[in-house]
Structure 1
């Protein structure tokens, strides 16, 4: 199974879950539900550790960057990520009432009553709440950047490596089993048909939004660079298709960097911006997370508003900083926000993970391809700043 990519494993897990759910006796389904309960509790325990492990070293490292160029790159990446979230929100709010109109909301009003119960459950209380973990992460990250001390930075970087290893070796391998159990349980409860219908419709909408947002990004980049945006997008297409296979922005950096240098005037800007953007620019992932979260809430019959989602989108842009270069890293970093800000329960979180991972590679492809557009914009800003500095020196 290790030779099979995560997406095929997720698809196999969903298919087997539906098949087993149709024929398995109740006790077997309850066994799967027991595993889901244990895994879900463990995931809840790990969430604060994931938040601290991602955010603290990410902010600490960013704070040591190259001054103005770092500031512009981070600001544009954050604006792009927020813009992607807003696009997803307003599109989903407009389309979901008609796109998902065939769903019976009462069917999902309280899925816990229909699903099989676990034989037993083990309480795994997190060491702190999500907001506490966020605050600690900000304090440590900003503090490390301010004091410029290497000892604490090394500690938080080592802790990040431990958390990343936990995700790579434990959580990600067990996720297909978790999703298998969820779909077996939902099939037994008669809920899987409408949910698969949601998967298909949301999947198509998300891919369309990815492509639309890439076009917008490159129209902006093309206008500032005075180049044909479609040609720039074509130049970056190898990075898109590479990311479909790697499902990792970090693993795609060599291809992204190689092609980004072809659309900028100063290669040193690409050398600086591209690796940085691989960890802080997640427009495709944000589109996916917002769209999937709203779909899950729609299935549950829960209302959503701009007032609720805008703070969630703003926090996503920060929480996903330095999410690990492994498949599913963004949704792992976002789980805490889903639970604390949107009120997601275990079943909703499991559905969210399944929805997200089903198209994770496309979100990553959108992320890395958009990195080229932002690199081009930063290159233009850097050129303008350099020109102004030269004029100032000449004036003196």
Structure 2
């Protein structure tokens, strides 16, 4: 019996991008329109799912945090949330400084993604969302806090089961169809002559993102090192096996055993490490927030969308909440982030698809940043809440 070969999400996305870039030059317009028809229907489905994803993830997350284990839990969540905001702010500040000149260096006449679409789908299906994004977020807070402080076990069970349904939809329906969706986007971009310039821009942006994720780790461990009065670079060096494991697996969960071992090597007690590391594998996504912010700013610059500081501060604050509640499935963070991308920044379906492709292409580096940073958070929590 032959063994079934499984191709991961990242290789499928890369194949989809390459095929889209190649076939866009050769496929006739009717064939391109067929893929655009699929993309139109799939994007409507995504729009329908986004508020449900928010409710299914955020409400149980708030309920779980509120009912929990006191100061240790609240401190860990607070540090993870603040660190995610700082990472997003660093990304935005660096982007506003560097990205406009990078875009200008490609010719300074980037086509607007939302204005260059020449072909149209054969037909569309309208699937309106049941509630808008902000309503779903407010509803999630009310329900989550109500469950936490009211001790509503039945309601908690209902929303945990709803969360399981949402995660299954992401894992079994949305994620498997993403490569086809991304293929359609790059096929259309190539057919319209956009792809070359867009890729030129993002090849430079990716380099900045890779440098930024190193800077995030340096400042995290400098703070941790200052708090416990130890060499931050020695602490960071001790976390290198966890970084490399996450780089290879693109999975925070799969890296937990290595992260635990290296965190304890940095002097964190087994009790604190055993609590903080698995929790942070779910809630601490500073590297992911940094990537999403940088790519979102770039797309705003390309499309002429607003990108003023006030708007992006609001976006980063909301994104950090979404990151804390993001599901632990591959691509889960960017799927959850589609809500603030569309509702706050006004991203259309093509911009969202480009965000998904770029995020997944750099997924392992974001995961490595998240996981390694978990070690820094563990050091800080251990300093204030560990056994003396």
Calculate the TM-score normalised by the size of structure 1: 0.93
The answer to whether the Cα contact below 8 Å between 2:80 and 2:280 also exists between their aligned partners in 1 is yes
Aligned ranges 1:3-18 → 2 under 5 Å: 3-18=6-21
**Of 65-74 and 208-217, the range deviating more from structure 2:** 65-74
The answer to whether the Cα contact below 8 Å between 2:55 and 2:139 also exists between their aligned partners in 1 is yes
Residues 157-180 of structure 1, C-alpha deviation per residue, up to 9 Å, x if partnerless?
111111111111111111111111
1:319 matched to 2:322: yes
Aligned ranges 1:99-110 → 2 under 5 Å: 99-103=102-106, 107-109=110-112
Residues 311-346 of structure 1, C-alpha deviation per residue, up to 9 Å, x if partnerless?
111111112223111221111111111111111111
In the other structure, the counterpart of 1:272 is: 275
**Of 168-177 and 257-266, the range deviating more from structure 2:** 257-266
> d(CA) in 1 for partners of 2:56 and 2:88?
24
> d(CA) in 2 for partners of 1:150 and 1:302?
44
In the other structure, the counterpart of 1:394 is: none
1:151 matched to 2:154: yes
> d(CA) in 1 for partners of 2:216 and 2:238?
17
Identify if the C-alpha distance between structure 1 residues 104 and 149 changes in structure 2 by more than 3 Å, giving closer, same or farther: same
> d(CA) in 1 for partners of 2:359 and 2:350?
14
The answer to whether the Cα contact below 8 Å between 2:305 and 2:346 also exists between their aligned partners in 1 is no
Equivalent residue of 1:250, what SS? helix
1:241 matched to 2:244: yes
Identify if the C-alpha distance between structure 1 residues 155 and 255 changes in structure 2 by more than 3 Å, giving closer, same or farther: farther
Tell me, which stretches of 5 or more residues in structure 1 are unaligned?
A: 388-396
In the other structure, the counterpart of 1:390 is: none
Residues 199-244 of structure 1, C-alpha deviation per residue, up to 9 Å, x if partnerless?
2111111111001110110111112222222221122122222222
Equivalent residue of 2:248, what SS? helix
The answer to whether the Cα contact below 8 Å between 1:105 and 1:298 also exists between their aligned partners in 2 is no
Identify if the C-alpha distance between structure 1 residues 2 and 152 changes in structure 2 by more than 3 Å, giving closer, same or farther: farther
Post-superposition offset of 1:115: 3.7
> d(CA) in 2 for partners of 1:156 and 1:16?
40
The answer to whether the Cα contact below 8 Å between 1:112 and 1:347 also exists between their aligned partners in 2 is no
Match of 2:361 among 333, 341, 358: 358
Post-superposition offset of 1:262: 1.6
CA RMSD of aligned residues (A): 1.6
> d(CA) in 1 for partners of 2:25 and 2:268?
59
Tell me, which stretches of 5 or more residues in structure 2 are unaligned?
A: none
Post-superposition offset of 1:358: 1.2
Aligned residues: 385
Match of 1:349 among 346, 352, 357: 352
In the other structure, the counterpart of 2:287 is: 284
Match of 2:40 among 37, 40, 43: 37
Post-superposition offset of 1:134: 0.4
The answer to whether the Cα contact below 8 Å between 1:51 and 1:137 also exists between their aligned partners in 2 is yes
In the other structure, the counterpart of 1:251 is: 254
Post-superposition offset of 1:2: 6.7
